[in-house]
């Protein structure tokens, strides 16, 4: 038995295809040609043999620029991820204020640098599955840690909080401190020395960073790092490419479930970092 499609219906079907299909592909469909095969970002990385990774190089233990080289947990993750793709790792320096613009401008294929998941970034990009749970907590002189246990204690006119620009630390401080003075220090590497030198009373940052920095600066103590003020997670920042996201998610899942990630984290927390001074 054969069926024939009425002429009017066929015209409606073609019109629907033209509306739902990009113009170039619709023209080819109308002419009976095969659709253009679009090469995705993951395919491009594999074909070109290069994975471009954005990183800030100012956030121990995740990403730190030592001389001409980047080291840290996230740098090691980036190297292993590139290797899984059969690609060479190309690290691309970025900054917290320019991170999202650099991603949108295609300066790199993904970014990994101890990046916190937040909804502002999520509106513009994808995140991988999280690989670390964290939250903001203060770090201050050990002699003063009892004075800064709560946000109410911190948000006082006589208190000076220091922040690095453009990231979640500055956003958290400005959202929660209405009376305290907030000063911006451009260099996230030397910012903790500012507290030691008495130029600021405290900084609120990720608990994992406070634990590390109190080891590097014996005068400083992390304030209740096991009970941070808020909840956050760290993940790989990705463009809106679902295929690349699925690949990174699966790679991270296997790395974490195998126990390799936990070993890397312990390695970089115990790394003999040097304290940075102005």
pLDDT tens readout for residues 109-158 = 999 999 999 999 999 999 999 999 999 999 999 999 999 999 999 999 99
Helix (H) or strand (E) holding 252: helix 242-257
Q: 249 and 127 in contact (C-beta within 8 Å)?
A: no
Distance CA 162, CA 159 (A): 10
**10 Cα distance to chain centroid:** 49
pLDDT tens readout for residues 231-266 = 999 999 999 999 999 999 999 999 999 999 999 999
Question: What separation in angstroms does the CA of 82 have from each of 12, 76, 102, 266?
Answer: 47, 10, 20, 22
Q: Pairing relation of β-strands 136-141 and 220-222?
A: antiparallel
Distance CA 235, CA 228 (A): 19
Distance CA 229, CA 210 (A): 13
User: Across all residues in the chain, what is the average pLDDT?
Assistant: 89
Q: Which long-range contacts (CB under 8 A, 24 or more apart) does 215-218 make?
A: 215/273, 216/192, 216/273, 216/274, 216/275, 217/192, 217/193, 217/275
Q: Which two tokens stand for residue 153?
A: 């204690």
pTM, to two decimals: 0.80
Among residues 211, 98, 229, which one has the least CA distance to residue 152?
229
DSSP state of 20: H
Q: What SS3 class is residue 234?
A: strand
Residue 23 has pLDDT above 90, yes or no: no
Q: 223 and 139 in contact (C-beta within 8 Å)?
A: yes
């Amino acid at each position: 038995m054969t069926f024939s499609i009425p002429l009017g219906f066929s015209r409606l079907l073609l019109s629907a295809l033209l509306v739902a299909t990009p113009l170039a592909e619709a023209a080819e469909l109308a002419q009976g040609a095969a659709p253009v095969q679009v090469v995705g970002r993951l395919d491009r990385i594999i074909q070109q043999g290069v994975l471009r990774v954005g990183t800030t190089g100012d956030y121990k233990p995740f990403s730190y620029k030592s001389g001409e080289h980047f080291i840290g947990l996230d740098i090691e993750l980036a190297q292993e991820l590139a290797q899984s793709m059969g690609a060479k790792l190309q690290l691309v320096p970025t900054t917290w204020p320019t991170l999202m613009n650099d991603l949108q401008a295609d300066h790199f294929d993904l970014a990994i640098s101890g990046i916190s998941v937040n909804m502002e970034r999520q509106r513009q990009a994808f995140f991988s599955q999280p690989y670390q749970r964290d939250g903001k907590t203060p770090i201050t002189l050990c002699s003063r840690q009892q004075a800064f246990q709560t946000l109410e204690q911190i948000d006082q006119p006589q208190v000076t909080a220091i922040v690095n620009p453009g990231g979640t630390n500055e956003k958290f401080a400005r959202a929660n401190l209405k009376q305290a003075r907030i000063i911006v220090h451009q260099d996230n590497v030397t910012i903790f020395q500012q507290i030691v030198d008495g130029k600021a009373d405290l900084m609120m940052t990720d608990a994992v960073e406070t634990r590390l920095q109190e080891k590097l600066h014996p005068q400083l103590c992390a304030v209740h790092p096991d009970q941070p003020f808020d909840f956050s997670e760290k993940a790989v920042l990705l463009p809106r490419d679902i295929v690349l996201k699925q690949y990174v998610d699966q790679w991270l899942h296997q790395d974490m479930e195998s126990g390799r990630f936990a070993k890397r984290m312990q390695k970089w927390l115990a790394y003999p970092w040097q304290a940075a001074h102005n």
